[in-house]
């Protein structure tokens, strides 16, 4: 059984809605893919070791990923890098008007784990619209489908 981990932080709810849509998309691949949807504060190295693919979802705060998501990465780095996890990953960023700084920062951080990017980062600016939630659902679905098909 392949495993997908979604780790997110959300202060005012937008990222959480996007992460939940991604989880709903992943659940459509119900055969062969197990899912964990966790807030960054609740997720740890054991969850990273458990998964075959990882979706990180965060607001952009002050041009970076939210501190709570960064803290999850800080906390798990030594364990993860020791195991050379090389998991597939994708990003969802919720931003007021930009999002590029968070993508740049996270792309750089995960190179050290290492993680392999398997989808274009999804940046949603402003309140997520129905179309944005659909794009998040597609991201989750694509990750789960890729796992199920053995692509990553
Ligand atoms: C402290 C703080 C800093 C922020 N900095 C940025 C920023 O640098 N760039 C940006 O586009 N939006 C910024 N925003 C807006 C949030 O990224 C945006 O509202 C996001 O959708 C919030 O996600 P959430 O509802 O999941 O908490 C900031 C918001 C807060 C509270």
Cis status of the peptide bond prior to 114, with omega within 30 of 0: yes
| Ligand 1 atom showing the smallest separation from residue 99 Cα | 11
Can you list the alpha helix ranges (DSSP code H) found in the chain?
14-27, 45-50, 67-82, 100-111, 130-149
DSSP lists the bridge partners of residue 113 as none
pLDDT at 30: 66
Q: How confident is the model at residue 152 (pLDDT cuts 50, 70, 90)?
A: confident
pLDDT at 86: 84
DSSP lists the bridge partners of residue 64 as 61
> Domain ranges in the chain?
2-149
**Tens-place pLDDT, residues 82-125:** 877 789 999 999 999 999 999 999 999 998 888 999 999 999 99
Sign of CA dihedral 82, 85, 91, 94: negative
Tell me yes or no: is domain 2-149 CATH 3.40.50.360: yes
Backbone angles phi, psi at 44, to 5 degrees: -145, -170
Of the candidates 106, 76, 101, which has an alpha carbon nearest to the alpha carbon of residue 91? 106
pLDDT at 113: 85
Distance, in Å, from the CA atom of 32 to the CA atom of 135, rounded to the nearest integer, reads 22
Helices (H) and strands (E) in the chain, counts: 5, 7
Distance, in Å, from the CA atom of 94 to the CA atom of 13, rounded to the nearest integer, reads 10
pTM of the full structure: 0.97
| Ligand 1 pocket by Cβ (under 6 Å) | 10-16, 59-63, 94-99
Choose one of 41, 62, 96, 125 to mutate for the ligand 1 pocket test, by most ligand atoms within 8 angstroms of C-beta: 96
**Tens-place pLDDT, residues 40-99:** 999 999 999 999 999 999 999 999 999 999 999 999 999 888 877 789 999 999 999 999
């Amino acid at each position: 059984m392949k495993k997908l981990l979604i780790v997110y932080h959300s202060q005012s709810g937008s990222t959480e809605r996007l992460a939940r849509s991604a989880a709903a998309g992943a659940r459509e691949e119900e055969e062969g893919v197990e899912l964990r949807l966790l807030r960054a504060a609740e997720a740890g190295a054991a969850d990273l070791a458990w998964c075959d693919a990882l979706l990180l979802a965060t607001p952009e705060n002050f041009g970076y990923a939210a501190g709570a998501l960064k803290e999850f990465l800080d906390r798990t780095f030594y364990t993860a890098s020791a195991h050379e996890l090389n998991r597939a990953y994708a990003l969802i960023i919720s931003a007021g008007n930009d999002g590029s700084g968070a993508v740049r920062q996270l792309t750089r951080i995960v190179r050290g784990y290492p993680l392999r990017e398997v989808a274009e980062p999804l940046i949603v600016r402003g309140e997520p619209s129905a179309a944005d939630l659909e794009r998040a659902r597609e991201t989750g679905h694509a990750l789960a489908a890729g796992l199920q098909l053995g692509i990553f």
